[in-house]
Amino acid sequence: ILLPDRCTRYVNRYERFLSKSSVCRLCESIDVELADICSFPSSNRTLSEIKIKAMAVSSAFGFNQMLSSKHHNNPSSSSPMVLGTRAFPTNNKTTGGLIRCELSSSSVSALQQLKKSAIDRYTKERSSIVVIGLSIHTAPLEMREKLAIPVAEWPQAISELCALNHIEEAAVLSTCNRMEIYVLALSQHRGVREVTQWMSKRSGIPVSDICKHWFLLYNKDATQHLFEVSAGLDSLVLGEGQILSQVKQVREKLRNGFGMVIPGLFEKAITTGKRARAETGIASGAVSVSSAAVELALTKLPPGSASSATMLVVGAGKMGKLVIKHLVAKGCTRMVVVNRSQERVAAIQEEFPSGVEIIYKPLDEMLACAGEANVIFTSTASETPLFLKEHVESFPLPADARLFVDISVPRNVGSCVAELDCARVCNVDDLKEVVAANKEDRARKAMEAQDIIIEESKKFEAWWDSLQTVPTIKKLRRKTDRIRADSVVKFMSKYGKDMDKKTKEAVEDLTRAMVNKILHGPMKHLRCDDTENRPLPETLENMEALNRMFELELELLEEKIRAKMDQK
């Protein structure tokens, strides 16, 4: 990209509408080490300094034809510019363990390959789907709750992620069992680095600690993972249905102009989740996190005490409602529900028969109610603990240790409460012992669901592949129409003075028809829909050929950069 006759022109051209970090990205396209030359992505350098560095890069790499006249006319610039040294293993010809890196004519072919691969990275090679995740299978609860992002903050988080230099699209899936970020990255490694640094900055967890517990998946593996998540195959409770609702929530957040590929991925994940449940029966008899919490609580109580135990449910959202439902199913007919609004509790009460007594209490009476309860379920979206050690110490001493079942992330019950002899605390990680007994039967059904996941993954891949030709189609049509319009303007300036309006419109229509007929053949060979039976590799070869013939690569690159700047 930074050949001598384009180096300064590129920087000057983009100076009008690009940030200096984007100019650095142009330099980065020739060689990763140029990022160091420009202190990428440092904010300490001015645009003028970056210009000088871009000129130096062109000169140092031997691309000085454009600069030669200036070089000869300026005696002060006669001394060669040295960018630095590079370490190599020592041999008989080296001293001090270092050898100065000189570029000779033999290096030109390597540099050309490097330049070509750099252009390919941003134009011919499509971006990568990447998932950076931490789940109940890989990370402790203490880390997951620090990384958790409330649903209300998902759009802001997505906007911040899309503003990163190498991220085009993003989505956040944050639940009690997982924190996963899905991105469409211009560069896999740089994208992962930027997202991980963002996660670290937001949560306060060092990058090194995140890397110890994360999992990274790319493209097909990332697609298959999300489909397994949506189908409930990756859940603690195999086949549970709540995760599908959470995937739908992500899809809803992505409706407001957050790209095309990642929203399409989540759309297909929802289809996969529905099919897996409808066609395999994986959800039949499946327990949820809430039902597992009720089962766990009952196993912790003394035998025969469940019916007489005082139950308190803090939070009447989806999770709280399910807890109430499963308590009733287990024979509990009286419970206290603490919630901000009475309306939601009243609506839940209407769903149960008159024999079930659900008593509403406002949030400011929560501690008083907890002091009278034997079992306390918490499932709120509070980002700070509702119960601390000093709270529980002030409660009346029960006959048996008071049981807290906390299924919230972040936790509603402080970890310090578990230190007390008068309290027992269970959280979502403790549910594993309950669901293990039900896992074997559904694991057999999960094998059937895998066939659906593979089928839907192939459909998504085909759809994603078809998108590769869209930018080329747009740029080709835009370029040819620009040429047509310029030609019409020149023609009209010379011969159009005596033409009436009808004749001028006829010229416009004629030239458009000519362009459309000329483009019909190329466009036909770029189609990836059902109207053509052409194999995808052949279509992509046609696309690359048209990009070369019509010189569309640079226009595609500029379009990507402009899109990034529009996001910022």
The residues that are catalytic are 176
Pairing of strands 167-174, 178-185: antiparallel
Task: Read off the tokens for 23.
Answer: 């100019």
- Cβ pair 360, 342 in contact under 8 A: yes
- DSSP letter at 125? S
Task: Read off the tokens for 399.
Answer: 């006959």
Sheet holding 311-314, edge to edge: 357-361, 334-338, 311-314, 375-378, 402-406, 423-426
- DSSP letter at 95? B
- Give ∠ CA 522-524-525 in degrees, rounded to 5: 65
- End-to-end CA distance of the chain, in Å? 23
- What is the three-state SS of 474-497? HHHHHHHHHHHHHHHHHHHHHHCC
Q: Of 269, 547, 277, 309, whose CA–CA distance to 405 is shortest?
A: 309
Alpha carbon of 533 to those of 5, 460, 461, 529, 543: distances in Å? 43, 18, 17, 8, 16
Backbone angles phi, psi at 387, to 5 degrees: -120, 120
Range list of β-strands (E), 341-453:
357-361, 375-378, 402-406, 423-426
* List of residues 6+ apart from 155 with CB closer than 8 A: 253, 256
